[in-house]
Amino acid sequence: MTNWFEDVAELTHKGQIKVPYTWSVGEVGSRFLVALRDQKRILGNRCGQCRTVFVPPRNRCGKCFGEIHEWIELGDEGIVTAHTIVRYNHPIQPTPTPFAYAIVKLDGADVGFIHIIKEDLGRLKNGVRVKARFSESRRGHILDIDSFTII
């Protein structure tokens, strides 16, 4: 047996998969995003079976599998139930650091709404009240809410 492998050059190939996507938002999600875009309103909906109020709204309850038909307008304020302040930069982050990822319990909702807080981070703690700040140019996207600000 020869030791041919001792001086072989070990190659690697760089690659990237490039798959374009066009995701269907669906009728339920589209109604939520259009209200965000055109009216700066935050809509939720309530499960007819277990009464959970969801935001973003969905057509069927993940918990009890009940159908959801009842739409509810939620406030644009809520309280922070959990958060983290991000200090490291990465291209996937929505905004330069420091900023916070926060779970916001919007008034009238039973589940948390995931969003970001950019300012006043020194005052951020769980239980603090926050308000949605809408971005100037809105396109029917979750970031039509620019961020939440501490009241």
The residues that touch another protein, with contacts defined as CB under 8 A, are: 13, 15, 17-29, 58-65
Using the minimum distance from each CB to another protein, give the nearer residue, 70 or 120: 70
Shortest distance (Å) from residue 69 CB to Zn ion: 12
For the chain, report the end-to-end CA distance as a whole number of angstroms: 75
Using the minimum distance from each CB to another protein, give the nearer residue, 64 or 151: 64
Beta-sheet strand order (sheet of 53-54): 53-54, 42-47, 68-74
Shortest distance (Å) from residue 58 CB to another protein: 6
Question: What is the rounded distance in angstroms from the CA atom of residue 9 to the CA atom of residue 7?
Answer: 6
* Side-chain-facing half-sphere of 60: CA atoms under 13 Å: 5
Shortest distance (Å) from residue 41 CB to another protein: 21
Question: What is the rounded distance in angstroms from the CA atom of residue 10 to the CA atom of residue 38?
Answer: 57
Q: Which of 25, 38, 64, 120 lies at the binding interface for Zn ion (CB under 5 A)?
A: 64
Answer with the entry of another protein, Zn ion, none that 50 interacts with (C-beta below 5 to 8 A by kind).
Answer: Zn ion
Buried b (16+ CB within 10 A) or exposed e, 111-145: bbbebbbbeeeeebeeebebebebeeebeeeeebb
Give the three-class secondary structure for 29: helix
Answer with the entry of Zn ion, another protein, none that 15 interacts with (C-beta below 5 to 8 A by kind).
Answer: another protein
Q: Site size for Zn ion, by CB under 5 A?
A: 6
Answer with the entry of another protein, Zn ion, none that 62 interacts with (C-beta below 5 to 8 A by kind).
Answer: another protein
Does the footprint of Zn ion cover residue 58 (CB under 5 A)?
Answer: no
Q: Which helix (H) or strand (E) holds 102?
A: strand 99-106
Give the footprint of Zn ion on this chain (CB under 5 A). Answer: 47, 49-50, 61, 64, 66
